[in-house]
């Protein structure tokens, strides 16, 4: 697989990474652990070197999974994990609030290192901006961890442009992770221009619209009660029915290219900027192979113009998150 460098940092990763959350959290009952280890090994064999996790995924179980599966290949891969939530000591919820105090950042770093079975975190993201802790303090603490050799690179997730600028002035930000796909193009307005100016890489999560852009979900699809999508406004039956126009657009392009809608959705993202690295998640080998296949699809200028023109005329129905979670983004 081709490699990309995240911004000006020098952090080289595979052009398509792997979001690992669904292997133990959020999309229904967790899959078989042994099968997920085999899937992670297959990803490495296929050229993926960039793996994304977080302490809150599980909580904790996703990092442990990656630690077990990836430790034999540690010198060949890049692992990103995240801090910033206050965990529920009773374990009834994955998290009960935000906490990016220096003390918690350090505690999370030590615990993540242990669970990941490594001596350094390649990319350490603030998962969500904590309004109660100045971002300068957050950046400064991660900078200390970098100097101590426990962290290589600093990242931010779902942060606003001004927060990114303030953090970057204290400790260089290597990458920003936010949702970005054909059905969530808000990052194009302010975020992408700022990242290009500052030389920061961009890591889109949910590049396939949490599965919707694959064309395998429609208004009749049912979700398990433990599936995160069951509470998302954009995944109501009415919204799924209204938003099919985007999938139909991808399908038309895909048919001409002998590809799938998912591959076109990922190829479109890769064509946006050379410092964009999407991290589609999956728990199935067939989907992993399909996603990786997008890397070889080079979109033409005419195709990109057609997608932009048609997609811009489509109004996507439904917020991407419930209000409580929406408030945590763009700070």
Residues for the chain: how many in total? Answer: 331
Q: Read off φ and ψ for residue 156, nearest 5 degrees.
A: -125, 145
Q: Collect all residues with Cβ–Cβ distance below 8 Å to 169 and sequence separation of at least 6.
A: none
* Residue of 242, 214, 232 lying closest to 314 (CA atoms): 242
Q: Which of 57, 125, 180, 205 is catalytic?
A: 57
Under DSSP, the state recorded for 295 is G
Q: Collect all residues with Cβ–Cβ distance below 8 Å to 137 and sequence separation of at least 6.
A: 100, 101, 102
Is residue 61 within 8 A of residue 91, CB to CB? The reply is no
Q: Collect all residues with Cβ–Cβ distance below 8 Å to 125 and sequence separation of at least 6.
A: 54, 80, 81, 82, 83, 84, 155, 156, 157, 175, 177
The secondary element (H helix, E strand) that includes residue 37 is helix 33-45
Task: Say whether 57 is catalytic.
Answer: yes
The secondary element (H helix, E strand) that includes residue 203 is strand 201-205
Is residue 221 within 8 A of residue 240, CB to CB? The reply is yes
CA torsion through residues 206, 127, 35, 235, sign:
negative
Please state, in angstroms and as integers, the Cα–Cα distance from residue 281 to each residue in 39, 116, 180, following that order. Answer: 11, 19, 14
Among all residues, which ones are annotated catalytic?
57
């Amino acid at each position: 697989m081709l490699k990309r460098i995240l911004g000006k940092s020098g952090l080289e990763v595979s052009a398509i990474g792997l979001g690992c959350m669904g292997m133990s959290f959020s999309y229904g009952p967790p899959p078989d652990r042994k099968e997920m280890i085999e899937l992670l090994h297959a990803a490495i064999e296929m050229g993926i070197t960039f793996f994304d996790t977080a302490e809150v995924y599980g909580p904790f179980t996703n990092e442990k999974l990656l630690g077990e599966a990836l430790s034999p290949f540690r010198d060949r891969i890049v692992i990103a994990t995240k801090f910033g939530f206050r965990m529920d000591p009773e374990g009834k919820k994955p998290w009960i609030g935000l906490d990016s105090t220096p003390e918690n950042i350090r505690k999370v770093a030590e615990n993540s290192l242990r669970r990941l079975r490594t001596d350094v975190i390649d990319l350490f993201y603030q998962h969500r901006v904590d309004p109660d802790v100045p971002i300068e303090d957050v950046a400064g603490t991660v900078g200390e961890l970098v100097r101590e050799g426990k962290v290589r690179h600093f990242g931010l997730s779902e942060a606003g442009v001004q927060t990114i600028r303030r953090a970057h002035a204290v400790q260089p930000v290597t990458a920003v992770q936010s949702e970005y796909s054909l059905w969530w193009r808000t990052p194009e307005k302010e975020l992408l221009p700022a990242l290009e100016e500052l030389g920061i890489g961009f890591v889109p999560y949910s590049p396939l619209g949490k599965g919707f852009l694959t064309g395998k979900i429609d208004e009749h699809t049912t979700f398990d009660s433990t599936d995160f999508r069951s509470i998302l406004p954009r995944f109501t039956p009415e919204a799924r029915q209204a938003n099919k126009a985007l999938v139909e657009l991808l399908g038309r392009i895909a048919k001409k290219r002998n590809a799938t809608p998912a591959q076109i959705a990922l190829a479109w993202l890769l064509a946006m900027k050379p410092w964009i690295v999407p991290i589609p998640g999956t728990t199935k080998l067939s989907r992993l192979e399909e996603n990786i296949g997008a890397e070889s699809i080079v979109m033409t200028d005419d195709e990109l113009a057609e997608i932009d023109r048609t997609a811009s005329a489509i109004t996507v129905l439904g917020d991407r998150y419930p209000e409580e979670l929406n408030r945590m983004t763009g700070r």
